[in-house]
Amino acid sequence: MLCMSGVNDFVVRFANVNGTGSASANYLFAKSIFRMGVPVSAKNIFPSNIQGLPTWYEVRVSEKGYLGRKEGIDLMVSVNPQSIKKDISSVKTGGYFLYDSTKKLHDEFLREDIHMIGVPLMEICNREFIDPRQKQLFKNIVYVGAIAKLLNIDVTVISDLFADQFKGKEKLIAPNMKALGLGSDYIRDNYNFPLEFRVERRNLVGDAIMIDGNAAAGLGAVYGGASVVAWYPITPSTSLVSSFEDYARKLRIDPITGKNNFSIVQAEDELSAIGMAIGANWNGARSFTATSGPGLSLMSEFLGLAYYAEIPVVLVDVQRAGPSTGMPTRSQQSDLISAAYASHGDTKHVLLIPSTPTECFQMMTDSFYYAEQLQTPVIMMTDLDLGMNEHMTEPFKWDDNRKYKRGKVLSEGDLEVIKDWGRYKDIDDDGIPYRTLPATHPSKGSYFTRGSSHDEYAAYSEDSATYVRIMDRLVKKLETAKKLIPGPDFYNTTDLSETGLIYFGTSKHATEEAIDILKLEGETVDAMRIKSFPFNNRVKEFIDSHKKNICN
């Protein structure tokens, strides 16, 4: 039997039942490889369900640092009888199938071309643990112990992870270590180990961290100065606001009064969530909301208002598979067009498209600056994969000298001096007018914010020339945006190839690996990663300079 994979280069897939605590055990496994200095990527492939349906978790180990998913499963850990038929058939020839051998495996499932490893998980747990919940939960740790032995993972690394995980609940460490040992001992006594593919310590992760994009964006919003958050729960964006709340409850409490230097309101729907975020930003507090496709659809009318009335607002769209309700727990990047042009009439919105949690953090902190500088909605487009899976990523950085730039906001003193202020006058010829916040000056600077057609002084107007002037200025403003928001990145671009590859978001990992493979095969492809919309001029130049452009 042949196995193509080798040291620090293989894929493990776990087949579990949703709601049995398996995801944290599986992440423990992935994190232990990361702690051994080897690049790893973990994907939770889960159903829209609380308990009972099949769920999978896939860990790719890659010495070369490739974080995309890879075809072919080297080791399948099967803990779900519902999906066993599909799971066993998905193991590649020469691979391994670890299953709960408490009950004999049905003959029809047996395959000659793979290795079968039976571990009586249920039997072990029933024997060793009394509490029914522990019997269930520790099955997960027993199989982690078993594969740790098979893959040569250092037990001290896992015990360190337990120590981190159960800080303050130390009594949980001993039973977890016991379960880990039970799995490990069973392999030691019954099978050959380690396998030909396994983990060896390296020093390849540098100062990288492991975090999911939602947690990173939530933290980014804290650092970016967001003080009002309004939201409506929707998969897969929910944990972004939870992350903001968790960090804010630690980092944003006034030390003297114990009161919150932030506010979070769970709205009644997405319409209300974006309305609150717009209201807060109109009043000069940095505010955002997070949603997914269906929420974006609902928010469209308000996004049009914010565009036309020129109110900053930040929205994160953690995309999932559409159309309609679609597949709430599956990743897709299909909202780009509807986000870019959300709302009726001529509207266009600024999009930021991160590829990694580090970019989620960075772009989130910057999004408030862009929104306030441009006085328009900024939508950060992530997806379920980026938002909800832990990624190995660069550490977060913050410059303590950085000040929040609040854009063109007039102070009381400014208003005293300015003779002829108009809310929508383009003084600087960049399409960006000067705004005032309520309660700034007793007799100057008030205006009526409206979504109806208005002139430079915010007065209602149906005059054609006025309408055209304001609309043209908005176009000019979005041109200015191009110079402010991040331009594209280029990967291995030689300008020698006739083929240009264009990619964005989480397709980064698979695309860049594919380019490297092509290179090994003697094929050079130029590649550009788009990070924002409206497109920077370099995007057009890249497209024009290549005969054939492939969008990924």
Partner 1 sequence: MSYIKPKFAHPRLPKNPLGYTRKDYEGSISTLCAGCGHDSISASIVDACFELNIEPHKVAKMSGIGCSSKTPAYFLSNSHGFNAVHGRMPSVTTGANLGNRSMVYLGVSGDGDTASIGMGQFTHVIRRNVNMTYIVMNNGCYGLTKGQDSATADYGSVSKSGHKNTFEGIDLCLLAIELGATFVAQSFSGDKSQLIPIIKAALSHSGFSFINVISPCVTFNNNQGSTKSYDYVREHNEALSTLDFVPIKEEITTTYDHKEIKLVEMHDGSLIRLNKISPEWDPEDKLSIISAIHKSKSREEILTGLLYIDNESIELNELINTTNTPLNKLVEKQLCPGSEILESINNDLR
Residues from 163 through 182 that contact partner 1 (CB under 8 A): 164
Q: CA 367, CA 361: separation in Å to the nearest integer?
A: 10
Task: Write b or e for each residue in 485-524: b if 16 or more Cβ atoms lie within 10 A of its Cβ, otherwise e.
Answer: bbbbeebebeeebeebbbbbbbbbbbbbbbbeebeeeeee
Q: CA 511, CA 54: separation in Å to the nearest integer?
A: 29
The distance of closest approach from Cβ of residue 251 to partner 1 in the complex, given in angstroms and rounded to an integer, is 4
Which of 134, 136, 263, 453 lies at the binding interface for partner 1 (CB under 8 A)?
A: 263
Which of 280, 316, 478, 501 lies at the binding interface for partner 1 (CB under 8 A)?
A: 280
Regarding 389 and contact with partner 1 (CB under 8 A), the answer is: no
Which 392-451 residues touch partner 1, going by CB under 8 A?
A: 395-400, 403-404, 436-443, 446-451
Nearest one of 20, 48, 17, 390 to 234, comparing CA atoms = 48
Report residue 290 as tokens.
Answer: 């997070």
CB 81: neighbour CB atoms within 10 A? 15
Site string for partner 1, 22-41 (x = CB under 8 A): -------------x------
Which 210-229 residues touch partner 1, going by CB under 8 A?
A: 210-211, 219, 222-223, 225, 227-228
Which of 54, 213, 236, 275 lies at the binding interface for partner 1 (CB under 8 A)?
A: 275
The distance of closest approach from Cβ of residue 293 to partner 1 in the complex, given in angstroms and rounded to an integer, is 20
Which of 129, 186, 262, 424 lies at the binding interface for partner 1 (CB under 8 A)?
A: 262
The distance of closest approach from Cβ of residue 443 to partner 1 in the complex, given in angstroms and rounded to an integer, is 6
The distance of closest approach from Cβ of residue 299 to partner 1 in the complex, given in angstroms and rounded to an integer, is 11
Residue 291 near residue 273 (C-beta atoms within 8 A): yes
Which 460-479 residues touch partner 1, going by CB under 8 A?
A: 460-462
Nearer to partner 1, 55 or 243 (CB): 243
Regarding 268 and contact with partner 1 (CB under 8 A), the answer is: yes
Regarding 259 and contact with partner 1 (CB under 8 A), the answer is: yes
Nearer to partner 1, 95 or 275 (CB): 275
Radius of gyration (C-alpha) of the chain in whole angstroms = 27
The distance of closest approach from Cβ of residue 64 to partner 1 in the complex, given in angstroms and rounded to an integer, is 21
Angle, vertex CA 268, rays to CA 266 and CA 270, nearest 5: 90
Nearer to partner 1, 71 or 462 (CB): 462
Regarding 260 and contact with partner 1 (CB under 8 A), the answer is: yes
Nearer to partner 1, 212 or 430 (CB): 212
Nearest one of 467, 508, 475 to 491, comparing CA atoms = 508
Locus of tokens 């009439």: 345
The distance of closest approach from Cβ of residue 121 to partner 1 in the complex, given in angstroms and rounded to an integer, is 30
Nearer to partner 1, 35 or 139 (CB): 35
Q: CA 44, CA 42: separation in Å to the nearest integer?
A: 7
The strand pairing partners of 87, in sequence order, are: none
Which 293-322 residues touch partner 1, going by CB under 8 A?
A: 301-302, 305
Task: Write b or e for each residue in 256-289: b if 16 or more Cβ atoms lie within 10 A of its Cβ, otherwise e.
Answer: eeeeeebebbebeebbbbbbbbbebbbebbbbbb
Residue 184 near residue 194 (C-beta atoms within 8 A): no
Which 519-538 residues touch partner 1, going by CB under 8 A?
A: none
The distance of closest approach from Cβ of residue 527 to partner 1 in the complex, given in angstroms and rounded to an integer, is 29
Nearest one of 263, 262, 331, 335 to 299, comparing CA atoms = 335
Nearest one of 535, 442, 416, 540 to 482, comparing CA atoms = 535
Strands (E) across 191-286 are located at: 209-212, 228-231, 263-266
Regarding 342 and contact with partner 1 (CB under 8 A), the answer is: no
Stretch that binds partner 1, among 53-61, 457-465, 475-483, 530-538 (CB under 8 A): 457-465
Which of 237, 287, 373, 493 lies at the binding interface for partner 1 (CB under 8 A)?
A: 287
